[in-house]
Structure 1
């Protein structure tokens, strides 16, 4: 502790104003023991920390002006004051830079004026060692790079015609070969610096380390750039661009990396150590100005190409948010890029230690955010263009699933793409300090709101998955090609269940989602009850439709596919809801009939059916022969495929009617429901054939005219005119007098 106190006392004396006037010769007479004590104290971590704490406590307080400024800034932390402070810092930094450049001119004059008296042997020796190291480093790297390029060409030749996975592996191995050449040359440079240029002690200077590290960083960036752009191997280029464009960007970006990297990592530090800091700063300014000019030239050269590329979506007819954003940015991108480059240069001149790292970091974060966002958007767009194609067996089982996905998924993808675009903007604003989204998201309010939104989205997603699963299950049960064939009752109930479940699920999911984002759903439920009551009073017809529909479904009087007569219309039931029935008539007309207008339902397909054959025969026909012909026609019918739909034998009920010109014989065939019409048509054909075979006449309406007594009909006028069923006249021979 006594040594520490002596050291603090010595530091106090060195910092006092009186000691500042002491001659330099007296300072060299300080005891060597104090220096040794200082070294030992600094090497010990505990004593070093104690020294730092004592120096902090011994630091002089701020003067009144600084304290007032700090208090004023804390009392009024407005945006205007922050902008004023920032602009003042920029102005002061620019002034200091200009002053440094002015001082540089005088310092250069002093350097050349005193060049006769200075000893440059050490400086020349340093240049000689650096030149030797650089020559060995560059020569070895060119040799190793040639070997790596030869091996890389062999690999690329084998994988260039393969798929993207072998090409990706080829790029990876090419990157390893190139990086291996860089690392091997870097390691060889370290060995040369240690064992050839470092003397017998094997110690290398800091200048050698600066050169080697600059070489490693710059050449690594160039290798990565070469592998990404692939100017000489277009098949391995994953970025879509032409060979000329790839070579163009590699040429300029590689030279900018080399110019800036070697200047800031090697030449400027060496110049600052050997000549002066102002000379190093002048070199940095010159290099940055050159880089700025190159950047502006590149922007102006590619103005039209980038504009056409960014307006490509609009030219194809897209009118979404992404297309409009890209078109707007593409119109003014060159102005924005030039302003950005000039701003970086000015900020670097004003405050190179703080402003430039911030700007570069924000720029890198913005580029990474845009790259990731565009990659996601490109994947989404490609997915939307490709669509969703299900396997054939799935489409056979669920024929409507693919159409349902095609209708829903693209809209979801568009919403996701918009969210990604908003996320890119938020990430850019976060990188530049315009907003503190991460801080807000980490706060209690942000966590609550983001958690609520994410929960609501998860609920909506789960609801859609449940809807998709239930709809697919109903669709599978209604598919007659798989499993058991559904009955008409099952089709009706499953369709009604799907509709009711969709409505209930939609209401339930929406209510849960609103509750998750903080909306009180109790007033909504109460309002829904009041609204339902109002609808009940104001829409009595609608309520009557629902109530009648419920009882019709409970009584199971009709189902989908039945042939019914309801509301004065007859046809096939195509769709049943809780409120109405859709009937397709024989001529193809679709009738939508509300249940409130249905007084009676006649179903022709309930349980079983009958074909009622009422056949008229002449009065002089033998009834036994008619019965025989009808049975023969039935036996002929049983020899066809219709026999499977006939439940019972033919039931001949005999004569049922004596008509004006025929007697009616009735027969009845019991069939499966819905088969009576086809069986009846086929049975009528068989009846006609059997009656012709037995000579049984099927009469038609006719009228007999009698001539008056003593009158003779004209030669061209028949005595009897018969009117057939079609209304055509047929002549017959006169019968006995008085016949009718």
Structure 2
């Protein structure tokens, strides 16, 4: 993926992305598929020796043996012809100067230089024509990716028009100055095509890398890296163009096929060696270009994904070597040039990150919160290979990128199969069976559409759910009851589960139907089973239906504190059958809907808190009323507590009295869940106000009435009376 600069913030975008993004995995799959397709391409049409193929049975083992004989023979021929490669130069000169002397070569060189010089001058005139337009380009708005891309695209269009002028003038001058015989004309067309190919590649590389325009550069790379990659890629493009054009030229001028095979193999090896060298020398820069971190950048990454991301270039080099071996074997077996296979394959692999980058840039453009990204230059410099846009962490951008990657992978597999002439239908029929193979395309399309549909549905629902459930420790720090979620937030999780099950069943039925199986009996059987389950699970049906009516009545919501008789607590979550209540002491009560007979909801609309204050009998009750009123007004004006009041604190006067005090009742109305916090603050402020005004709270007292103390004379008389009473009782007993 081309790591395009996007206008997003640096921190909170599309979190939860795995160390190796989906595109890297997709590229790895594409690499493996292309190798398999390449192997299938040359193994499916072996040019084995006719005698061996006819003498042996049609089995894989003998086909491999036939291929080995063919490879051995062709390789010997190619090595023998390689010794004659030095004679290729004199042969080309003889063909070009046919009928002329050796000095004719210099005439052709001079004519070619003159034609190219005149064409270059004509190109300069065309450039001057567009100069006023190019001068005004810096004034355009290039703060967004689309603005930068627009300027670069306009520069590319102008460049293509200039190259078209160059080509037209060169062709016209050729016909005016010199036509020559066929070999000379082919040489000129080859040179002109090479120049145009290299300059066109340079124009597109300037669009991609902008080596001299850091302000317009889309990839998040520095100037030095951009210039190094520009010249390296331009060298590879020039080498590839020279390979293709030289092969075509040599074939047209009549070079011996065996010698042409040796030359083609040599230059093919040079191409792959150059690719490996560029990957090895600039793997850090290429990794930053496509958004893959270097090995040093993923040292802390764990798992297989981080390992592959940090050492991607090793796998890329292995892939290039595998492609070289596959192309060599295919060329030796079939005798055909491999440019028609290798060049499009490399083009597809190069186009994949570019298309992915453009897709992500489009997502950033249309699914990014503008306020969240203001003032930032590039999100992708710090977060490459993410799959969502700023401000769209769990939004539609993630869905589009995921399904876009899936669709891109399918298209790449189909293109590679077309390039390598592999019949996917026959391969699937051989591997999976004819019935599954015939329905495989329909099943894949159904799965892609289902994935996209479910992603959109889930995203739309999740946007309405700021939190799925209360935290298990949400009530530990406070005894307050929760205010709860909205009715929509309570119902949407159940709706999401229902839609997921419905979509899953629908996709399964479509897949079964696509394989030619009649789903009518399945639906009828499902109906019968449903009726049987309904009779056998009446309690379950009662729970589900009761839950539906509770939700329709809006009796409770997630986060509300309720009492259902069987238990009480905060509604933590709901299933289709039961209710989970978190008690304020921590335990969870799971209560089926069918057993609930009444519901007391403590979290709706408002809550009244009544408090009692004990004051002495001699306290000024009017002063107490004024103090309570003043405390209530202060708390209403407090920015922290005032927003939780519905009615202020006020005194209700003396509620009752006991042996030691008046009991004064005060009350206030607050929002549900906040009354306990306000209660603590009310007690604190009333205590402080009473102390400032000299009013003390009345302590509880118990008064015990006892007989007064006796003097000495009275005590002696009482003792004598008790003694006399004791003597009389003894006499009676005797």
Q: Distance in 2 between matches of 1:404 and 1:158?
A: 35
Partner of 2:589: 593
Secondary structure of 1:235's counterpart equals coil
User: What are the residue-to-residue correspondences of 1:584-623 with 2, within 5 Å?
Assistant: 585=584, 590-595=586-591, 603=601, 612=610, 614=612, 616=614
> How does 1:150-299 map onto structure 2 within 5 Å?
163-193=148-178, 205-207=181-183, 209-229=185-205, 234-235=211-212, 243-244=227-228, 246-247=230-231, 250-251=234-235, 254=238, 257-258=241-242, 261=245, 264-265=248-249, 269=252, 272=254, 284=260, 287-288=263-264, 291-292=267-268, 294-295=270-271, 298=274
Of 329, 336, 350, which aligns to 1:371? 350
For 2:178, what is the secondary structure of its paired residue?
Answer: helix
TM-score, scaled to structure 2: 0.57
Once the two structures are TM-superposed, the CA of residue 549 in structure 1 deviates from its matched residue by 5.8
Partner residue of 1:135?
110
Instruction: Give the 3-state SS of the residue equivalent to 1:595 in structure 2.
Output: strand
Give per-residue Cα distances to partners, 1:559-583, cap 9 Å, x unaligned: 5666655679877667666623545
Q: How does 1:453-464 map to 2 (within 5 A)?
A: 453-464=444-455
- Provide the C-alpha distance between the structure 1 equivalents of 2:116 and 2:448, rounded to a whole number of angstroms: 55
Change (3 A) 1:709 1:424: same
Tell me the CA shift for residue 510 of structure 1: 0.9
Residues in 2 aligned to 1:96 and 1:449: alpha-carbon distance in whole angstroms: 44
Identify which of 397, 403, 428 aligns with 2:416.
Answer: 428
3-state SS in 2 of match to 1:701: coil
Structure 1 unmatched runs, 5+ = 1-68, 106-110, 112-119, 195-203, 395-400, 477-487, 713-740
Q: TM-score normalised to the size of structure 1?
A: 0.57
User: Would the aligned equivalents of 2:606 and 2:669 in 1 still touch at CA under 8 Å?
Assistant: yes
The partner residue of 1:465 within 456, 467, 475 is 456
Q: 1:191 to 1:581 in 2, by over 3 A?
A: same
Is 1:580–1:594's contact at 8 Å kept on the other side of the alignment?
A: yes
The structural deviation recorded for 1:613 is 5.5
Distance in 1 of aligned mates of 2:101 and 2:428: 54
In 1, Cα distance between equivalents of 2:649 and 2:671: 13
- Match of 1:593, SS state, is strand
Deviation string, structure 1 residues 149-187 (Cα, Å, up to 9, x no partner): 798799799979974432343244234324422331221
Residue in 1 that maps onto 2:443: 452
Query: 2:325 and 2:176 mapped to 1: Cα distance?
Result: 46
Secondary structure of the structure 1 residue equivalent to 2:304: coil
Q: Greater CA radius of gyration, 1 or 2?
A: 1
The question of whether the paired residues in 2 share the 8 Å contact of 1:307 and 1:330 is answered with no
For 1:49, the equivalent position in structure 2 comes to none
TM-superposed CA distance for 1:463, in Å, is: 3.5
Q: Does the 8 Å CA contact 1:456/1:516 hold for their aligned counterparts?
A: no
CA distance in 1, matches of 2:608, 2:237: 90
Bigger relative CO (Cα 8 Å, ≥ 6 apart): 2
Count of equivalent residues: 575
Which residue of the other structure, out of 499, 502, 515, is the alignment partner of 2:496?
502
Q: Distance in 1 between matches of 2:82 and 2:683?
A: 115
Distance across 2 between alignment mates of 1:254 and 1:656: 102
Residue 201 of structure 2 contacts residue 234 of structure 2 at CA under 8 Å; is this kept in 1? yes
Q: Secondary structure at the match of 2:588?
A: strand
Q: How far apart, in 2, do the equivalents of 1:416 and 1:698 lie? A: 75
Task: List aligned pairs for 1:328-407, cutoff 5 A.
Answer: 329-330=315-316, 332-333=318-319, 335-336=321-322, 338-340=324-326, 342-343=328-329, 346=332, 351=335, 355-356=336-337, 359-377=338-356, 389-392=368-371, 405-406=393-394
Residues 457 and 324 of structure 1, relative CA distance in 2, 3 Å threshold: farther
Computed over aligned residues only, the root mean square deviation of the Cα atoms, in angstroms, reads: 6.3
Q: Distance in 1 between matches of 2:420 and 2:74?
A: 21
1:513 equivalent among 507, 510, 514:
507
Contact 2:606 2:670 (C-alpha < 8 Å) held by counterparts: yes
Contact persistence 1:581–1:593 (CA under 8 A):
yes
